Structure 1
């Protein structure tokens, strides 16, 4: 069998979003109506912006103010049916000048069901984008397409990283989870090692801290990821950076108090539960440990 043209080759797409056909997507012919494929492309475009690790505010401004869809071409090859698992691929063709051109395709396994092209027009430099100018965003797209990492974790002191770490923790713990400010902020911050993850626009996305619990045991805490970046892997990057710092300091074990909703995240990172569930700041927690 000959190789599919590049536009239809599943492996040529930098960003791939999985989705499942819903009963409401299926028309009278027991297959997905052609117009419904446009909503699949919309889901793929949203996944592409998430993959750039943009902050929520920048991403919303990008979609609502900075870019306008000017052209959409889609060629249909095969039908999709109820409950089938599909993959929507997006790949940048050009990010130079006033327009952004992207190749798009919908796959079912190795089969290309539809493929085409999207063209967006840059709409100047909206104030809400701040440092994320069209030129900066074009460079960001080019870096993503070349396989570069979209995030970087910095490790340092409270004096170096505290402003960004504090803003993330205020948003997640105090504003979102309702933890009392007097329980969130303590004197230990000044002596901790802190980690903050940034995107390529220097926007802070996630944070955590490390301190000595008892001799030989490091305690990791205040792990927080902004909502728009959850599920992206940036929380694991912060955790790995803190674990690496703990090893460099000669600790033999890492301990943390995990919220019950995050226990699976830490299990995947090699931690194991130790002891019963307990309440901390009104939220169920469990102690977890792993060797270093």
Structure 2
């Protein structure tokens, strides 16, 4: 059920017996999430619009192929091609999971596109489309899932749900020129994760995010990075950029017994780092109001700091 075979034998985690939806699951990282969750006993709604890197077009093929692959291996899955960048599409996706499998326990927000451009030349459509798919898409799916879990909790039903969002190095610890739209969206997703974790804990929902680095059609298309990801790995050697490396972290975060919430984890190859948001590096103070003439003496030194 994976480009790296024997997922079930490689991972000893207990069967989930839960219901998950994974957006952008027709290819790359999202596909690996869906395959591993299914191998662990989770019923999966495989969402993928089937569009291009830039978000244009649609094709049922990618989502249906992954769903078919899961079913052929003995798992449970259905395909979904709703556009999660729309309020109605996100609601339809959540509703399908509930109607098809009787509930919803896991949301993996993974869908994304790229429309790179430098700030001085980026047009409105490049900005709007990337923000819509990444940031609005994450929120819209989360919003409708959260509404369901809130209603379940208010009705006295036990909820043990997990949300795994997808941030990026570009929006957290490794800003990338040419990706103002993508970086801003991914930074927003990291912040959304922290806020949602605070709000949804009362309903039995944990919310975390990953910032993955792996070989996908998006990273292969990223200027200055594609060649690195395209390098061939000799047979039998560990492929540090395989998207399959990311899936176990998501399965862990989705597990009922995982204690983490409000965390952002950077994942690449065999390394996982716990990220922390904006922190105070140094503080300068004066006894009274600031005077403009004093500021160079206090602030100019910061220009040399990384």
TM-score band by shorter chain is under 0.3
Scaled by the length of structure 1, the TM-score of the pair is: 0.24
The structure in which a higher percent of residues are helix is 2
Higher relative contact order (CA 8 A, sep 6+): 2
Larger Rg: 1
The structure in which a higher percent of residues are strand is 1
